[in-house]
C-alpha cells in the first residue's frame, strides 16, 4: 500500500517503533499516534457505545474524544500523544478484553 | 388580560413546585378525582429531582424514614406501571463500607437503627462483602449489607412524570414563575410574574412543593420556617468497563457510588460546593472534589483510571431536625407543604402519595411530619 | 492539588494561537506579569501548528507564508521570556478566575488577576449517513494532518463542505502527491464572488485562491458548487460517496440526479464554531450570531465580557480569521492593562485606536469567510432521522425530534431526555447542529440556549485529580445524621 506520508516538504525525525494492541507499529518520532496508526492502515480505534459502530480519529485537535486510547494508566486522545520508541498503546476494547 | 384581578381558572388544588414531590402529589390528587394544576418556574424535575445521584438506598436514609423509603423503592421499581415510563430503576444490593475501627462501629450502629424500622440490613465480614462486590478495596474491615437497594437515572424523571401527569388530566404549567399566593376564606389565588402574562390561578387548596424554596413559599403565606440549603457536588465518569455491581456507600455517609448499565459511574456523597437558593449551584469547591474522588478511588481502586465526564451541583433541602416537612401549613387553611425529606428522591413518590391521601381526606398509609413542630425551632449552627 | 509558585500573575492567557500569543506579548510589553498556557507542545494554535518535534523543513523547500508566520511567532515568544506552560490542559476555572490545569507533573492551579480566553474554534460537521465511519475526518482535521503531520487523509479523497478550508485542503492534498476525487461545495460560485470586495486588501490571498483553482483544474478535479454529501457507504477499505445537489439553504434539491464518487477518504467540514467552554462555565453572558459561528460571549470590541477580569479574543470570540486574531488579542491585552491600572486612559486610547485600525481590514475578510462557513438551515433539515447526531452517545436525529415533540424546549432538557451532549466531548461536536434541530421545533435559536458549561473542560482521571494519598488524607467533614 503506498504510503500516506508526504515527505516533499519535510525531513521527518528518527524512525521509531511503538506497540499498539501488542503489534509493532513503525512511525517517526513526534508524529501523533493517531496519524501513525492511520498511516499504518489502522483506521478503526474503538466502537461506539450503543450501536457498536466502528470509530476512528475525527477532529485531530483533542476535542471530539473519538481517538482515545490507553497509554499506561492514562486514557488520552491519540491525536495528542506523540509517537516515541517503546511507547505501549492499547485500544479501549483490547484493554477491556485483557482485563476480563 | 393583564390588570384583571379576577382569576379565570379555578381548580381543586394547585401544586407549586414540579419536582418529584410536587409531581407525585399532583398525580395522586388527580387520580383521586381532583382538578389539579401543577406549576413550576422551569421545566418539571430539573432541580434536585433531576440532578441527584438517584440512589435508592436504605443505608443512607434517616432510620425513621426507612419505612417510607422501602415503599418508595417499590414505586420506583414499578415506575413503568404507574407512570407509563420508567427511570431505569435497577435493583441491586447495597453495601455500606467501613475502612477504620470508628467506621466499623458506625456500621453496627446504623444497621441496628435501621433494622428497628424494618430495613433488612445485616453486618457482614469483608470476605463476604468481597464475594458480593469483588472490586472493593482490600483494606475493607466490615460492611453493612442490604438486598433492598438500587438506583435510578434521575435525569429521566421529568419526562416520565410529564407523560403521566398529562394523561391524568393535570394542567402542567412549566416555565412560569409564581410571584405570590393570596390566601383567604374563599381559597387561594396564585399570582404569576408580569412576564408570564397569565391570569392568577384560583384554587381551593394549595400545595407547596418547592424543595429548597419552600422557605420562600411559606413566606408568601406569612409563615416563617427556615429551610437549610445543601449544595451537593456530583461527579459522573465516562463509560468504563464493569468495575462494580452494587450501590456503595461509606459508613461516615460521605460516599455514594454506583455504576449504570451504560458503564458510567456516578460519585456523590454530599460534598459541598458553592451556591445558594438565589443563584443555585455556582461552582464546585476543589478541595471537596479531591476529597470525594479520593474516597471513591479508595473504595473501588479500579476507578482511579476512570476519566471524569462532568461535575455538577444540586440543591438539597433540610429542616432544623433533619426530618421532612409534610402536612398542613400552620395557620393557613387548606394549604399544605411537602418536602425536605433529605434524600428526598429516594422517598419522593411515596411522600407525594401520602400527602395526596391526606388532602383527599383519606388516612395516609404512614404518618406525616407536622410542619408546626418546626415553628420557632432554631436551625443548628445558625 | 499542587501549589502554584509564589510570583503573582496579572494575566493568564488560555490558548497560544495567533490571538493568545500576540495578547501575551502585548501584555508583557505593557508591564503585566503574564502566564500563557496551551495544551499543544508549542504556540501557533490550529492555524500555525508547528511541525512535530524532530521534523525539519526539507532543504530547498520554501516555507509557506503561514509556516513563516508561525515560526516567527514562536521565535518571538521564546525570545520574550514570557512564562509558558505548554502541554497543559485547563480542566476547571473558578469564579475567582482561579485556573486549574493538568500537565505532565499532575494538577496545578494558578490565581491570576485577569483571564483571557483565546481558545479558538472547533469544527462543525453537519451529519450525513455514514459520517461516523473511520476514514472520514474533518476539514480542519485534514488541514492539521497535511500541514503538521505531513500526511494524506487517503490516496483518493473527497473534499466536501463549506468555507475557505475546502480549497486549502484540496490543493494541499494535490501538492502532497494525493488525488482528490471531487470537491463538493455547499456554496455557489456567486457566493464566492460576493466575498471579492473583502479580499481587496489581501491580493496575496486572492492570488493564492486563483492558484489553487488552477491546480485543481490542471489535475482535472471535479469541483461541484451547490453540492453536499448525501451519504457515504463503506465498501471494504473504500468509500462510495453519494453527492447531492443542494439549494442555497443547504437543503437537498428534490429529483436532482445523484452523483457518485469512489474514494478511500473523506474530508468534510461545515464551518467553525467558537469555543465557549470557559466562558459558559463561568456563566458569562452569551449571544447567538450565526454569521460569527454561533454562540459567542457577549463582549465589547476589546474582548471585555460580562464578567470583570474575563476577556475573550480571536476566533473563539467570533470568527474573524487568523489575520485579525493577533490585533484582537492585543486589543484585549491593552484593555486588560488599562483595567488593571497599568495603562493610563490616554495611552490606552492611543493603543486601542491603533489596534482597531490594524484589525478592521483583516476582520472584514475573516468575516466574509465566516459567512461562507455559517450553518445552513437546509443542511440541518436534510439530516435523515436515523443518522447519528451525537457521536459520543449514538443519539439520532429521530430521538432529538421525539424529545422536541414531547416538550423539550431547551438544550439542557434535550440533554436530560436523550443523553445528547452527555458524552466525553461535552457537546462540542454535536451542540451547534443539535441546537439547530431543536430550534426548528421551538422556532427560536436563542431560546433553546446552549448546554450549561460544566467542569471538567477536558476529561481528567480521578487519579490525576486525587493525587497520591492515604485514607487518613481524605478530609472528612461532619458525619451524616443517623
Q: What is the pLDDT of residues C322-342, one digit of tens each?
A: 999 999 999 999 999 999 999
Give the pLDDT of residue C481: 62
For residue A1, give how far its alpha carbon lies from the nearest alpha carbon of chain C (Å): 10
Average pLDDT value for residue range C38-67: 90
Contact C149 A10 (CB under 8 A): no
* CATH superfamily to which C9-121+273-372 belongs: FAD/NAD(P)-binding domain (3.50.50.60)
Average pLDDT value for residue range B76-105: 96
- The shortest CB-CB distance from C151 to any of A6, A48, A63 is to A6
CATH says C383-448 is which class? mainly alpha
Domain ranges of chain C: 9-121+273-372, 125-270, 383-448
Give the pLDDT of residue C260: 98
Instruction: Assess A45–C contact: CB distance below 8 Å, yes or no.
Output: yes
pLDDT at C36 over 80: yes
In three-state form (DSSP H/G/I as H, E/B as E, the rest C), the secondary structure along chain B is CCCCCCCCEEEEEEEECCCHHHHHHHHHHHHCCCCEEEECCCCCCCCHHHHCCCECCCCCCCHHHHHHHHHHHHHHHCHHHHHCCCCCCEECCEEEEECCHHHHHHHHHHHHHHHCCCCCEEEECHHHHHHHCCCCCCCCCEEEEECCCEECCHHHHHHHHHHHHHHCCCEEECCCCEEEEEEECCEEEEEECHHHCCCCEEEEEEEECCHHHHHHHHHHCCCCCCCEEEEEEEEEECCCCCCCCCEEEECCCCCEEEECCCCCEEEECCCECEEECCCEEEECCHHHHHHHHHHHHHHCHHHHHCEEEEEEEEEEEECCCCCCEEEECCCCCCEEEEECCCCHHHHHHHHHHHHHHHHCCCCCCCCCECHHHHCCCCCCCC
Neighbours of chain B (3+ CB pairs under 8 A): A, C
Coil, helix or strand at residue C115: strand
User: How far apart, in whole angstroms, are the C-alpha atoms of residue C106 and residue A95?
Assistant: 24
Give the pLDDT of residue C323: 92
Q: Which CATH number is B93-148+228-318 given?
A: 3.30.9.10
**CATH architecture for residues B9-49+156-225+321-374:** 3-Layer(bba) Sandwich (3.50)
Chain segment A34-82, per-residue pLDDT in tens? 999 999 999 999 999 999 999 999 999 999 999 999 999 999 999 999 9
Closest CA to C161 of C146, C134, C143, C179: C143
Contact A96 B241 (CB under 8 A): yes
Q: Which residues pair with C228 in a beta bridge?
A: C244
Domain ranges of chain B: 9-49+156-225+321-374, 93-148+228-318
User: How far apart, in whole angstroms, are the C-alpha atoms of residue B272 and residue A23?
Assistant: 47
Grid cell of A36 as nine digits: 501513525
Residue with more model confidence, C131 or C199: C131
Give the pLDDT of residue B7: 44
User: How far apart, in whole angstroms, are the C-alpha atoms of residue C396 and residue B304?
Assistant: 32
Neighbours of chain A (3+ CB pairs under 8 A): B, C
Sheet holding C223-225, edge to edge: C136-138, C265-270, C156-162, C179-185, C223-225
Average pLDDT value for residue range B262-280: 96
Instruction: Assess B43–C contact: CB distance below 8 Å, yes or no.
Output: yes
Directed axis angle between helix C203-218 and helix C165-175, to 10°? 50
Instruction: Assess C447–B contact: CB distance below 8 Å, yes or no.
Output: no
- Locate the chain B residue with the closest alpha carbon to C95: B283
User: How far apart, in whole angstroms, are the C-alpha atoms of residue B219 and residue B224?
Assistant: 6
Contacts of C453 (CB under 8 A, 6+ apart): C276, C277, C278, C279, C280, C281, C282, C283
- Chain B residues closer than 8 Å to C467 by CB: 290
* String of DSSP letters for C183-251: EEESS-HHHHHTTGGGGGG-HHHHHHHHHHHHHHHHTT--EEETEEEEEEEEETTEEEEEEEEB-TTSP
- CATH topology match: C125-270 vs C383-448: no
| Cβ(C394)–Cβ(C420) below 8 Å | no
Contact C150 A7 (CB under 8 A): yes
Chain segment C262-309, per-residue pLDDT in tens? 999 999 999 999 999 999 999 999 999 999 999 999 999 999 999 999
Give the pLDDT of residue C1: 46
Contact A8 C177 (CB under 8 A): yes
Neighbours of chain C (3+ CB pairs under 8 A): A, B
Grid cell of C439 as nine digits: 430550534
User: How far apart, in whole angstroms, are the C-alpha atoms of residue B6 and residue B197?
Assistant: 14
User: How far apart, in whole angstroms, are the C-alpha atoms of residue C319 and residue C121?
Assistant: 8
Q: Which phi-psi region, left, alpha or beta, contains residue C466 (left: φ > 0; alpha: ψ -120 to 50)?
A: alpha
Grid cell of B129 as nine digits: 462483602
For residue B382, name the pLDDT band (cuts at 50, 70, 90).
low
Contact C480 B252 (CB under 8 A): yes
Give the pLDDT of residue C203: 86
Domain ranges of chain A: 15-99
**CATH architecture for residues A15-99:** Roll (3.10)
* CATH superfamily to which C125-270 belongs: FAD/NAD(P)-binding domain (3.50.50.60)
- Chain A residues closer than 8 Å to B239 by CB: 49
Contact C134 A4 (CB under 8 A): no
- The shortest CB-CB distance from B284 to any of C455, C480, C482 is to C455
* Unique residue bearing C-alpha cell 489575520: C323
Which contacts (CB < 8 Å, 24+ apart) does range C204-207 have? C204/C65, C205/C365
Kind and range of the H or E element at A100?
Answer: none
pLDDT at B6 over 80: no
Closest CA to C428 of A68, A81, A38, A66: A66
Give the pLDDT of residue B197: 85
- Locate the chain A residue with the closest alpha carbon to B241: A96
Contact B304 A99 (CB under 8 A): no
For residue B1, name the pLDDT band (cuts at 50, 70, 90).
very low
pLDDT at B4 over 80: no
pLDDT at C2 over 80: no
Contact B305 C460 (CB under 8 A): no
User: How far apart, in whole angstroms, are the C-alpha atoms of residue C39 and residue C90?
Assistant: 8
Average pLDDT value for residue range B13-32: 98
* Unique residue bearing C-alpha cell 500573575: C9
Q: Which residues pair with C390 in a beta bridge?
A: C395
For residue B58, give how far its alpha carbon lies from the nearest alpha carbon of chain C (Å): 12
Percent of chain C residues topping a pLDDT of 70: 97
Chain segment C175-229, per-residue pLDDT in tens? 999 999 999 999 999 999 999 898 887 888 889 999 999 999 999 999 999 999 9
pLDDT mean across residues, chain C? 94
Give the pLDDT of residue C478: 67
- Chain C residues closer than 8 Å to A49 by CB: 392-394, 423
User: How far apart, in whole angstroms, are the C-alpha atoms of residue B151 and residue C349?
Assistant: 60
Amino acid at each position: 500500500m503506498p504510503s500516506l506520508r508526504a515527505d516533499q516538504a519535510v525531513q521527518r525525525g528518527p524512525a521509531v517503533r511503538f506497540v499498539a494492541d501488542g503489534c509493532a507499529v513503525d512511525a517517526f518520532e513526534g508524529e501523533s499516534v493517531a496519524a501513525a496508526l492511520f498511516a499504518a492502515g489502522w483506521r478503526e480505534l474503538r466502537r461506539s457505545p450503543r450501536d457498536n459502530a466502528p470509530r476512528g480519529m475525527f477532529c485531530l485537535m483533542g476535542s471530539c474524544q473519538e481517538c482515545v486510547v490507553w497509554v499506561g494508566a492514562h486514557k488520552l486522545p491519540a491525536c495528542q500523544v506523540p509517537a516515541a520508541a517503546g511507547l505501549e498503546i492499547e485500544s479501549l476494547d483490547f484493554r477491556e478484553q485483557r482485563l476480563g | 388580560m393583564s390588570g384583571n384581578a379576577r382569576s379565570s381558572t379555578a381548580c381543586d388544588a394547585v401544586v407549586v413546585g414540579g419536582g418529584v414531590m410536587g409531581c407525585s402529589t399532583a398525580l395522586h390528587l388527580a387520580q383521586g378525582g381532583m382538578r389539579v394544576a401543577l406549576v413550576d418556574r422551569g421545566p418539571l424535575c430539573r432541580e434536585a429531582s433531576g440532578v441527584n445521584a438517584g440512589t435508592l438506598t436504605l443505608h443512607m436514609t434517616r432510620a425513621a424514614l426507612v419505612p417510607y423509603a422501602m415503599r418508595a423503592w417499590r414505586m420506583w421499581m414499578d415506575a413503568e406501571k404507574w407512570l407509563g415510563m420508567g427511570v431505569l430503576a435497577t435493583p441491586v444490593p447495597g453495601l455500606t463500607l467501613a475502612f477504620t475501627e470508628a467506621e466499623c462501629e458506625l456500621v453496627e450502629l446504623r444497621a441496628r437503627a435501621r433494622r428497628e424500622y424494618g430495613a433488612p440490613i445485616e453486618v457482614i465480614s469483608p470476605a463476604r462483602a468481597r464475594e458480593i462486590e469483588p472490586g472493593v478495596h482490600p483494606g475493607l474491615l466490615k460492611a453493612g449489607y442490604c438486598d433492598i437497594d438500587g438506583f435510578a437515572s434521575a435525569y429521566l424523571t421529568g419526562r416520565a412524570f410529564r407523560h403521566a401527569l398529562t394523561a391524568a388530566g393535570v394542567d402542567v404549567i412549566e416555565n412560569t414563575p409564581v410571584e405570590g399566593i393570596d390566601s383567604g376564606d374563599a381559597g387561594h389565588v396564585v399570582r404569576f410574574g408580569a412576564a408570564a402574562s397569565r391570569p392568577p390561578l384560583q384554587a381551593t387548596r394549595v400545595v407547596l412543593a418547592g424543595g429548597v424554596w419552600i422557605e420562600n413559599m411559606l413566606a408568601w403565606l406569612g409563615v416563617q420556617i427556615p429551610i437549610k440549603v445543601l449544595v451537593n457536588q456530583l461527579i459522573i465518569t465516562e463509560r468504563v468497563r464493569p468495575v462494580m455491581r452494587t450501590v456503595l456507600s461509606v459508613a461516615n455517609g460521605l460516599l455514594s457510588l454506583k455504576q449504570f448499565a451504560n458503564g458510567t459511574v456516578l460519585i456523590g456523597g454530599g460534598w459541598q460546593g458553592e451556591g445558594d437558593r438565589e443563584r443555585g449551584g455556582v461552582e464546585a469547591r476543589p478541595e471537596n472534589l479531591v476529597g470525594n474522588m479520593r474516597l471513591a478511588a479508595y473504595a473501588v481502586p479500579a476507578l482511579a483510571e476512570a476519566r471524569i465526564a462532568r461535575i455538577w451541583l444540586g440543591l438539597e433541602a433540610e429542616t432544623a431536625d433533619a426530618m421532612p416537612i409534610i402536612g398542613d401549613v400552620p395557620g393557613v387553611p387548606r394549604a399544605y407543604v411537602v418536602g425536605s425529606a433529605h434524600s428526598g428522591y429516594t422517598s419522593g413518590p411515596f411522600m407525594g402519595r401520602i400527602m395526596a391521601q391526606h388532602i383527599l381526606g383519606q388516612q395516609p398509609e404512614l404518618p406525616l411530619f407536622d410542619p408546626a413542630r418546626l415553628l420557632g425551632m432554631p436551625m443548628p449552627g445558625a | 492539588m499542587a501549589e502554584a509558585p509564589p510570583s503573582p500573575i496579572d494575566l493568564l492567557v488560555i490558548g497560544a494561537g495567533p490571538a493568545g500569543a500576540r495578547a501575551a506579548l502585548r501584555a508583557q510589553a505593557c508591564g503585566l506579569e503574564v502566564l500563557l498556557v496551551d495544551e499543544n507542545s508549542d504556540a501557533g494554535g490550529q492555524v500555525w501548528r508547528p511541525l512535530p518535534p524532530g521534523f525539519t523543513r526539507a532543504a530547498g523547500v520554501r516555507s509557506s507564508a503561514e509556516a513563516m508566520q508561525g515560526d516567527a511567532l514562536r521565535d518571538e515568544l521564546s525570545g520574550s521570556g514570557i512564562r509558558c506552560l505548554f502541554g497543559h490542559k485547563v480542566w476547571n476555572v473558578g469564579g475567582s478566575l482561579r485556573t486549574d490545569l493538568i500537565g505532565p507533573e499532575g494538577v496545578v492551579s494558578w490565581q491570576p488577576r485577569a483571564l483571557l480566553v483565546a481558545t479558538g474554534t472547533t469544527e462543525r460537521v453537519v451529519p450525513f449517513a455514514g459520517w461516523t465511519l473511520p476514514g472520514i475526518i474533518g476539514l480542519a482535521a485534514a488541514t492539521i494532518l497535511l500541514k503538521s503531520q505531513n500526511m494524506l487523509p487517503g490516496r483518493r479523497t473527497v473534499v466536501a463542505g463549506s468555507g475557505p478550508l475546502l480549497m486549502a485542503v484540496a490543493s494541499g492534498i494535490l501538492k502532497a502527491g494525493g488525488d482528490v476525487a471531487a470537491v463538493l461545495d455547499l456554496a455557489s460560485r456567486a457566493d464566492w464572488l460576493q466575498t471579492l470586495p473583502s479580499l481587496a486588501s489581501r491580493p496575496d490571498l486572492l492570488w493564492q485562491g486563483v492558484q489553487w483553482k488552477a491546480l485543481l483544474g490542471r489535475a482535472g478535479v471535479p469541483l461541484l458548487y451547490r453540492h453536499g454529501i448525501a451519504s457515504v457507504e463503506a465498501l471494504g477499505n473504500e468509500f462510495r460517496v453519494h453527492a447531492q445537489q443542494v439549494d442555497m439553504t443547504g437543503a437537498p434539491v428534490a429529483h436532482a440526479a445523484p452523483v457518485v464518487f469512489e474514494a478511500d477518504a473523506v474530508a468534510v467540514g461545515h464551518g467553525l464554531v467558537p469555543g465557549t467552554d470557559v466562558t459558559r462555565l463561568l456563566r458569562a453572558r452569551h449571544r447567538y450570531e450565526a454569521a460569527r459561528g454561533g454562540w459567542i460571549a457577549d463582549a465589547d470590541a476589546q474582548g471585555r465580557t460580562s464578567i470583570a477580569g474575563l476577556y475573550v479574543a480571536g476566533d473563539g470570540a467570533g470568527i474573524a480569521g487568523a489575520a485579525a486574531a493577533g490585533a484582537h488579542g492585543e486589543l484585549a491585552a491593552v484593555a486588560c492593562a488599562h483595567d488593571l491600572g497599568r495603562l493610563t486612559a490616554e495611552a490606552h486610547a492611543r493603543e486601542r485606536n491603533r489596534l482597531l485600525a490594524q484589525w478592521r481590514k483583516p476582520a472584514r475578510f475573516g468575516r466574509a469567510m465566516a459567512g461562507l462557513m455559517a450553518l445552513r438551515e437546509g443542511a440541518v433539515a436534510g439530516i435523515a432521522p436515523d443518522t447519528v447526531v451525537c457521536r459520543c452517545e449514538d443519539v439520532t436525529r429521530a430521538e432529538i425530534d421525539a424529545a422536541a415533540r414531547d416538550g423539550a424546549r431547551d438544550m439542557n432538557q434535550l440533554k436530560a431526555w436523550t443523553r445528547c451532549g452527555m458524552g466525553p466531548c461535552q457537546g462540542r461536536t454535536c451542540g451547534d447542529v443539535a441546537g439547530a434541530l431543536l430550534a426548528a421545533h421551538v422556532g427560536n435559536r436563542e431560546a433553546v440556549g446552549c448546554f450549561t458549561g460544566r467542569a471538567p473542560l477536558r476529561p481528567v482521571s480521578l487519579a490525576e485529580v486525587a493525587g497520591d494519598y492515604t485514607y487518613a488524607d481524605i478530609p472528612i467533614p461532619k458525619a451524616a445524621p443517623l
